[in-house]
Structure 1
Amino acid sequence: MNDRFLVTREKILFVGSRYHVLDQLLSSENKEDILIYALENSYLAQMLTDKNIAFRAFDFKDKGKFMEEILSLDFDILISNGCPFILPVHKFAPEQLLINIHPTYLPFLQGKTPINGIFYDGYEFYGATMHFIDAGIDTGAIIYQKRVGITPDLDLGLLYHLSMKLEGTVFKIGWELLKQSNFKYQGEKQQGTSTYFNRTPEMQLLDFKSQNTSAILRAIKSFGIKSQGCSAEISNKNYRIYEAENMIHPPLLKEYQMSGPGSLLLEYDTKLLVKTKDGIIKITRYEVLIG
């Protein structure tokens, strides 16, 4: 970034679908210098509408129009937070600064849906990273990042909430680092072996005949929010499952040890006991799928 920042204000373009980072930006910079592009029907778009903050909406299905628009804009800094598109770095002007805030501790869990991967791949921490955008996917030099240990009481909904809030915290600190350096700070190279995660429908499909108990419970925990969940057929009915736990009570395990995997053993209150390949799980939050 050149020396004009010494005498003029930055023109900032914010693009994304999440709110906490933008909230920090709006609280620290002149709102007249910030142009906001929010993904249609996203949490960000709803929050901006509720707060009567001006923004331009973009459609996930019209990537070409979106790219054409932002490439035509006059700005100094682009901040991406939940933008669903890979930005063509080579098409931007060399002096334009491109920044992304990612909801994991990079280089771990790069990709579009990394928070699911925290449980699915068994990480013991979550995090957030502010980094420069380069030609790769979440591979740019790190401006600032923070990690926090996982505890057993966290579920996916809480993990999303905590990760998004942490993005705001990380951005606040990283933004100050950039301003203190007059936007000349180059960041630090990512350290460690990169991993990548992107959820697929196959990951959310349970097979009680081939998967063991730990694999089933891991998948359910990894996708355990209302908009995701895991699918399974149990006793000729189709279910969407959001929460379950392992059963260890010896009399129950002994009573049903000869039952076939996938058998519905007991339905009580709002819970189900289901036989797995090597045990029993209690399904505590679910819905029956019709049709």
Structure 2
Amino acid sequence: MENKEKCLDELLTISFDILISNGCPIIFPVKKFKTHQILINIHPTYLPHLQGKTPMNGVFYLKYSFYGATMHYIDKGIDTGDIIHQKKVKLTNDVDLGLLYHLAMKLEGSVFKKGWRKLKKANFKHIGVKQCIESTYFNRNYEMQHLSFKDNTNTLLLKIKSFGIKSQGCIAIINDTKYIIFEAESIIHKPLLKSYKKSKPGEIVLSYDEKFLIKTIDGIIKVKKYEIL
């Protein structure tokens, strides 16, 4: 996958009937494939919600109340092809990003099995349904992962939850030191909030047991998992 052009060139020369893509970072030039060849993708959201390369972050960042998985035909767009089979599941507050990845990938397997049975029953004729409702698209970028203490507590916590796994995280500059923050929660203890009411946003007001409290414009955040760069 380091050489996408080479990979595509090889695919275009291979004799096959069905191509199944899962997590493949390539936009397939569908018109270059043979007309009888079927191109299928498995996507870890309930399309047309959250099309794009990094949709799992968007589940939290765009405040979705559900997650899902979709088996669909590949067309010239990005995750825009006709839907073969899909499933939606309600999202609960105890699910973090790492757990969401696990749940969505497991759901992809279930959706694929059911979609494959549909295709076999139809003798692999086109059975897709068009994506007819308004779509959303999500790809994470540096700006999304950067924390500004001009934002309120809820916004900061939303960002941290949206990118809260070890390979991602949110970047914060505190006292000229760069932190990558993976997990945080809001302080609701009134005496604590009162004690540091006059502290400046972005100021670490207390450090303890490999955690720290940082003042925001409207409260205090407890940072539970982080790294210093």
Tell me how large the CA RMSD over aligned residues is.
0.8
Does residue 219 of the first structure (1) align with residue 138 of the second (2)?
no
In the TM superposition, what are the counterparts of 1:45-194 in structure 2 within 5 Å? 59-60=1-2, 62-194=3-135
The count of residues paired between Structure 1 and Structure 2 equals 229
Once the two structures are superposed, residues 52-101 of structure 1 have per-residue CA deviations (whole angstroms, 9 ceiling, x without a partner) of xxxxxxx33x1111111000000000000011010001100111000000
Q: 1:270: how far off?
A: 1.6
Does residue 229 of the first structure (1) align with residue 164 of the second (2)?
no
Does residue 276 of the first structure (1) align with residue 216 of the second (2)?
yes
Q: 1:235: how far off?
A: 2.5
Instruction: State the TM-score, normalized to the length of structure 2.
Output: 0.98
Percent sequence identity over aligned pairs: 63
For structure 2, the residue ranges without an aligned partner over 5 or more in a row are none
For structure 1, the residue ranges without an aligned partner over 5 or more in a row are 1-58
Output the CA distance in 1 between the equivalents of 2:30 and 2:41: 12
The residue identity in structure 2 corresponding to 1:216 is L
Output the CA distance in 2 between the equivalents of 1:270 and 1:152: 25
Q: 1:236: how far off?
A: 2.7
Instruction: State the TM-score, normalized to the length of structure 1.
Output: 0.78
Output the CA distance in 1 between the equivalents of 2:6 and 2:77: 22
Aligned partner of 1:41 in structure 2 is none
Output the CA distance in 1 between the equivalents of 2:103 and 2:90: 12
Deviation beyond 4 Å, 4+ runs, structure 1: none
Output the CA distance in 1 between the equivalents of 2:98 and 2:164: 7
